[in-house]
Amino acid sequence: MAGLFVTGTDTGVGKTVVACALAEALRRRRIDVGVMKPIETGVGAQGPLDAIALLEAAGVDDPLELVCPQRFELPAAPSIAAAREGRAVDLAAIRSAHAALRARHALMLVEGAGGLLVPIAHGHSMAELARDLGAPLLVVTRASLGTVNHTRLTLEAAQHRGLPVAGVVISHGPREISSADAANLEALREDLGDRLLGEIPPIAPGTSPPREAFRLDAILERALRPS
């Protein structure tokens, strides 16, 4: 096990923002980090934008075909987006692309699509993909109301499936949160305790969060720890 599978409590919670910021932080530590967005949906003429952002953040020149081997146009769950095109998600293609990238880099950051139980294929959700790729989960969660419930549900689903969880990163999103949200967030921080590995404040597009946003040593220890 040398890497992290970045999942979230929902779509649009900040997985790409967190994965990019983490890739940059690891690069600053001179760690050779590879990235992958194995399945990207909602891909238009500009190509797979999450995968492209991850590649840029990691500063690697791996082919986009390996970084994002499965792409679909419909912005929906992978199995649904694939069915719209009369296709199925090719899990073997994902495994072999991951193996190739893993052989090139010291540590892999893989961004899932949507949340943990999003369907990919029959009997396969993001959770099974994370297991296939052998990486512990880094769960990205919102700062706003509803997040305590969503975070607990995701952690419970992971535990139920025996998936190792490295920890949780809170991403605030583009707006300042209300004082009610702030009180709620304090409860989440307490709930998570040592599992809280970072918190990304609202950041302007194209900028990086402050260095202290991540507990980088703890993240590295948990990403590199043998299972």
Ligand X SMILES: Nc1ncnc2c1ncn2[C@@H]1O[C@H](COP(=O)(O)OP(=O)(O)OP(=O)(O)O)[C@@H](O)[C@H]1O
- Which residues on adjacent β-strands are paired with residue 168? 139, 196
Round to the nearest angstrom and report the end-to-end CA distance of the chain: 6
Contacts (Cβ under 8 Å, ≥6 apart) of 193: none
Stretch 51-90: interaction string toward ligand X, x if CB under 6 A: ----------------------------------------
- Does residue 171 touch Mg ion according to CB under 5 A? no
Total residues interacting with ligand X, rule: CB under 6 A:
18
| Residue appearing with tokens 């396969």 | 124
Q: Which stretch binds Mg ion (CB under 5 A): 16-24, 61-69, 101-109, 155-163?
A: 16-24
Stretch 5-44: interaction string toward ligand X, x if CB under 6 A: ---x--xxxxxxx---------------------------
Q: How far apart are CB 183 and Mg ion at their closest, in Å? A: 28
Q: How far apart are CB 155 and Mg ion at their closest, in Å? A: 20
Q: 15-28 and 216-224 are packed helices; what angle lies between their axes, rounded to 10 degrees?
A: 90
Q: How far apart are CB 12 and ligand X at their closest, in Å? A: 4
With residue 70 as reference, give the H or E element that holds it: strand 70-71
Q: How far apart are CB 50 and Mg ion at their closest, in Å? A: 4
Which residue in the set 4, 5, 10, 16 belongs to the binding site for Mg ion (CB under 5 A)? 16
Query: Catalytic: which of 15, 37, 105, 142?
Result: 37
Alpha helix locations (H) across 40-141?
49-58, 64-67, 78-84, 91-104, 126-133
Strand-pair category, 196-200 with 39-40: unpaired
- Does residue 172 touch ligand X according to CB under 6 A? yes
Structure tokens at 196: 């809280």
3-state secondary structure of 138: strand
Q: What is the dihedral of CA 122, 11, 145, 136, to 10 degrees?
A: 70
Q: How far apart are CB 221 and Mg ion at their closest, in Å? A: 25
Q: Interface residues for ligand X in 87-146 (CB under 6 A)?
A: 114
Structure tokens at 69: 């081997």
- Does residue 173 touch ligand X according to CB under 6 A? yes
Which residue in the set 130, 135, 171, 197 belongs to the binding site for ligand X (CB under 6 A)? 171
Strand-pair category, 119-121 with 124-125: antiparallel
**Catalytic (active site) residue 37:** yes
Residues that bind ligand X (CB under 6 A): 8, 11-17, 50, 114, 171-174, 200, 202-203, 205
Q: Report the catalytic residues.
A: 37
